[in-house]
Structures are given as C-alpha cells and as structure tokens.
C-alpha cells in the first residue's frame, strides 16, 4: 500500500494507465471492462487507497444505490432483528441500506421519509407504525419513491406488502390451547396502534367460534409502545380483580405477555401446564426474549426470514423494472407453533 494520496478518479486513472471513463465504467460494473483492464485497475486498487467520491457519484447517476429501511421502533428487539436480516440482504445485493427508526411516533415516521427523500433512495422498505401512521403523507411518499411495506399493512400504500398470516397463526395457537386445556381469553389493548392486532382479534373470535366456544376479550387501556409496562399494570389489575371465565390467557403479542407473566409472578400465580399451575399464558411473535421468561413463553413464531427475503427481492425487482408493479402484491406467511412452558 503506497501512502501517496489519490485525489480523484482522474488521478487514479493516471496511475492505472487507463482512461478515466473506463475506470468509471469499471466501478459501475467490473465485468463491463476487458479482463486485462480489470486486472490493471485491481492491482492499482491494492496499491493505492482510492474509492470514488460517493457524493459526486450520486449526483450524476440516474439512481443512487441507496435503499431506505424504516422500522417503527428499534428499541423492540423484534424489529432490530428483522432490520439486521434485511440489511444483510440489501448489502449482498450490492446496495446500501439506510436504517431509520420511527421511535413509535407518526411525526417521526414522516420525518424519516422526508430525510430519505433528500437521499434519493432507489427504493424503500417500510414497516409503518400502522393505525397511527399519517397515511396520506406516507402514501404521497410511496407515490414518489418505489416502496414496499412489511410487517404492517397500510391501505393500498406501496407496491407490495409482506407480513404474517394472523388468521392462520392465531387459529393455530387457539387450536392448541383448546386441545391442551381450557379455551383462552384474549388479552389485548383497547385501541392498538398495530393493524395486526385487529386482525388477531378477529381471528381469535373466528377460531373460538369455529371450535364452539364463546370468545372473551380482555381489552385494556394503554397508549404507546410500552407493551410490557401495559401488560404488567393491566395484567395485575385483571388478575387480582374480577374472575376470569378460564385459566388460559392468549396475549395479542409477546411483549404484552412478558408484562403479564411478570404481573402473574408478582401476584403469586403459578403459570404453566402442570396440575399445580393455576394459569396458562401464551403470546404471539416469538420475541427474542420469550425463551427466557419465567416460565418460558408458549407462542407463535412469525416467519420473518421469509418476510425479509421476499421484501428485499421485491424491492430489488421493482428497482430493476423502473419502480412500478402492475398489481399490488400482498403475501402473508404462516406462523409456527412454539410450545414452551407457559401454556
């Protein structure tokens, strides 16, 4: 590695002994130049520390190589995990991921889209906040920039949507709970931010009806994204208060269940399957921490590998074909039952 500083592509092409346009061609696609030329350039790259100025490149390219990735809340390990997977896939495809979190706030979500605008991304993968999203503004963005939604759907915004099949997954766990004990009540927030929550509620009612049971909703107050806190506080209220019609509680998501488990523990309930247990608790999502709750949480895992993979594939082909789909694709992936100690 020589310590001579390369000023720009002109300079670099000079030390290569090759013209600048050819070097430019090389950086856009190494395969597009003759083998002997490629080798000369790569030898020089080993020797000198040069890389094209990204700002000059992006100013002149028709498209940047940037792909925006917006998740509702990075503090939630579930989203941190899926973001990581997606980032990896984007990098593999030769693009540059830009990760932004909306921190649970609709204004923040719009601010994220706004700052993505100035970066002129080739495409955007967006997991919207859901009900709280400022749909008009999100739709406007998706109109300007090729956008694929995942995790939560939002009207017909974007060119495609990939998420979980809540009907299937909730049906699956309701079925399991009924077969292995008493039919579950459904623990959820009264006004959830997430549209999946509504689908899960409906799916719960349908599943219970199909099995010949009366559905029973425990709808608790609570705002925002502090699900564990809400599950804990409202769970304690419910457990110590009125009588439940059954010993089994299915939570709308794992984070509520984690809070509820904590409340059950504090109030002396023994949670689990065995005869000595007085309560069964199940969740939904297979949150990274649900393996380590006490007892470990029975839940349904989302197929987030599939969601990530298909979302990335779709945005890439979308970019490839110039930004628009003929029809909006909506694909839901099935969940898998994860049987653990809590139910």
Q: Is 58 exposed, middle or buried (0-12, 13-18, 19+ CB in 10 A)?
A: middle
5 binds DNA (CB under 7 A): no
Q: Report the residue number, 74 or 206, with the smaller CB distance to its own copies.
A: 74
Draw the binding track, 29-48, toward DNA (x: CB under 7 A; -: no contact): ---xxx-xxx----------
Say if CB 281 and CB 265 are below 8 A apart: no
Tokens describing residue 117: 């605008």
Number of residues that bind DNA (CB under 7 A): 29
Tokens describing residue 313: 């594939």
Q: Is 273 exposed, middle or buried (0-12, 13-18, 19+ CB in 10 A)?
A: middle
Out of DNA, its own copies, none, which partner does residue 101 contact, by CB within 5 to 8 A per kind? its own copies
Contacts of 63 (CB under 8 A, 6+ apart): 122, 319
Q: Report the residue number, 94 or 212, with the smaller CB distance to its own copies.
A: 94
Shortest gap between Cβ of 110 and DNA (angstroms)?
Answer: 21
52 binds DNA (CB under 7 A): yes
C-alpha span between 212 and 231 (Å, rounded) = 28
Q: Which part of the chain contacts DNA (CB under 7 A), choosing from 55-63, 96-104, 131-139, 157-165?
A: 55-63
H or E element, residue 87: helix 77-92
Q: Report the residue number, 81 or 323, with the smaller CB distance to DNA.
A: 323
27 binds DNA (CB under 7 A): yes
Shortest gap between Cβ of 324 and DNA (angstroms)?
Answer: 20
3-state secondary structure at position 280: strand
Out of its own copies, DNA, none, which partner does residue 2 contact, by CB within 5 to 8 A per kind? none
Q: Which residues bind DNA (CB under 7 A)?
A: 7-10, 12, 17-22, 24-25, 27-28, 32-34, 36-38, 52-53, 56-57, 59-62
């Amino acid at each position: 590695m020589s310590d001579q500083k390369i000023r720009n592509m002109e300079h670099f092409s000079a030390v290569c002994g090759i013209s600048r346009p050819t070097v430019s061609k090389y950086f856009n696609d190494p395969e597009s130049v003759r083998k002997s030329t490629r080798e000369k350039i790569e030898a020089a790259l080993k020797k000198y520390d040069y890389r094209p100025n990204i700002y000059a490149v992006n100013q002149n390219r028709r498209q940047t190589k940037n792909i925006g990735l917006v998740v509702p809340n990075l503090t939630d390990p579930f989203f941190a995990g899926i973001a990581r997977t997606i980032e990896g896939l984007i990098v593999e495809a030769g693009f540059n991921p830009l990760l932004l979190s909306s921190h649970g706030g609709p204004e923040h979500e719009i601010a994220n889209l706004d700052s993505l605008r100035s970066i002129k991304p080739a495409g955007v993968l967006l997991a919207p906040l859901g009900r709280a999203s400022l749909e008009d503004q999100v739709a406007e963005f998706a109109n300007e920039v090729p956008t694929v939604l995942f995790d939560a759907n939002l009207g017909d915004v974007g060119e495609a949507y990939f998420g979980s099949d809540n009907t299937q997954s909730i049906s699956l766990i309701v079925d399991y709970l009924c077969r292995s004990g008493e039919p579950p009540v459904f623990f959820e927030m009264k006004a959830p931010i997430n549209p999946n929550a509504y689908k899960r509620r409906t799916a719960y009612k349908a599943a219970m009806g199909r099995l010949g049971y009366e559905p029973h909703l425990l709808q608790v107050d609570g705002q925002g994204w502090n699900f564990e806190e809400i599950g804990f506080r409202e769970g304690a209220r419910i457990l110590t208060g009125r009588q439940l019609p059954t010993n089994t509680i299915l939570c709308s998501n794992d984070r509520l269940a984690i809070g509820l488990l904590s409340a059950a523990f504090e109030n002396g309930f023994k949670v689990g399957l065995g005869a000595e247990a007085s309560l069964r608790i199940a969740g939904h999502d297979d949150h990274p921490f649900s393996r380590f709750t006490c007892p470990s949480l029975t839940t349904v895992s989302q197929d987030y590998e599939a969601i990530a993979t298909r979302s990335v594939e779709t945005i890439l082909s979308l970019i490839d074909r110039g930004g628009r789909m003929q029809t909006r694709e909506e694909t839901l992936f099935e969940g898998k039952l994860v049987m653990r100690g809590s139910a």
